[in-house]
Structure 1
């Protein structure tokens, strides 16, 4: 918790949530959890952060009557320090940056959003996305003046495995 408080002060909330788990990101003043479910939760009170040694993925707990605070349970400790994860070989092949980009592309995002989340330049993000797109791991879709990127089904299999 001390490490996270220091990260907030030095780098902001976006860095804290990304450090908690790759499926979490903070952009435009909102928390995004990369899940197969769609939905929005608005809370008017505080968000309680609950590190858990039992959680493998983040979970959000909210009171529909808004009488209690919303809580986010997340895996305690750094995700990349977990022993013998499937990400290690994949990360060695793709590289740390491209793996992190793929993990945050469960939801469609623009280059600017990804640059903010990962604290990289838009040019660097664009370079990596072009390589991922060429490999068939990312799909592009133009919406008006913006281009949105999203992880492909092949990338889902690489990240989550066939049995997931």
Structure 2
């Protein structure tokens, strides 16, 4: 059952609102989806591209941040502070130079002196973690940067739309249409959160951050002293994905193995469970299982049961076929 944190805004006519096209929020949404197992609705084509762009072992490095027991990114590791700094290269340079003692101090404070087990490797080698983490974020943004640039007109249009809504007392219309995961009722905004809390806005500014990642994007911070902010899918996002999709009739891999099997092979840039494949390709687990069986018979992938899950991975032949027909 989904759980939600709540932000109590107070009377909307008194709420100061800004819009910031903050690329760091988009970056964290992309990382959460492609590498952290937290779905943001990123298009499968881009999810595969981002997974291919990062260093080997990136998911293991990021595991503490997205652990199911407690999902948390320390403030010093977020490329969103200060929120008003929209040059991501500056943010990433600053992040790579975070002193070890700053990270350790934040972990100690965030977990009230009882740092969870999944963070122990970070505590033991904080500087190595910071360098690996910064390299992963840099690789993701290097791959996605052209898409962010293409989204410039969408972001400009959204900034104008919200500005008009604020001056014309139509802010409730904006807040009720912020994507499938964000709810607004009365004076309260609710966002999905595995560890829900209730926050009062007080006198803080509200900052809306349009995200260029996926239709299910939801990233937020309600505990800053200067502002509360939340990210949501920029309207018109689907037009970016549509423009990027290849024509299936001209895709050599699709012509050889079919569209769904081509999608499976491309998704398996890293081993996946049947469930994650089905989710990524928007089909049922039974359908994925059938097509994986055919690909396994052809020697293009292997399957192995691990506990309650069946893991699929490309064989050398499967990888060679994808590379040959995707040039």
Is the 8 Å Cα contact of residues 48 and 269 (structure 2) preserved in structure 1? Answer: no
Equivalent residue, structure 2, for 1:93: 256
Equivalent residue, structure 1, for 2:273: 110
Structure with more helix by fraction? 2
Aligned-pair CA distance for 1:14: 4.8
* Aligned residue runs from structure 1 range 53-72, under 5 A: 63-65=95-97, 70=137, 72=141
Secondary structure, aligned partner of 2:303: strand
Q: Which runs of 5+ in 1 are unaligned?
A: 1-11, 25-32, 48-60
* Aligned residue runs from structure 1 range 34-73, under 5 A: 34=52, 37-39=56-58, 40-41=61-62, 42=65, 44=74, 45=78, 63-65=95-97, 70=137, 72-73=141-142
Q: Which runs of 5+ in 2 are unaligned?
A: 1-37, 66-72, 81-91, 100-133, 148-239
In 1, Cα distance between equivalents of 2:273 and 2:296? 14
Equivalent residue, structure 2, for 1:139: 302
Match of 2:246 among 70, 81, 90: 81
TM-score (norm 2): 0.33
The CA deviation string for residues 17-67 of structure 1, in whole angstroms up to 9 with x for no partner, is 42435334xxxxxxxx135622224554258xxxxxxxxxxxxx6833459
Is the 8 Å Cα contact of residues 299 and 315 (structure 2) preserved in structure 1? Answer: yes
Asked if 1:148 corresponds to 2:180, the answer is no
Larger-gyration structure (1/2): 2
Runs of 4+ aligned residues of structure 1 deviating over 6 Å after TM superposition are none
User: Using CA pairs below 8 Å that are at least 6 residues apart, which structure has the higher relative contact order?
Assistant: 2
Structure with more strand by fraction? 1
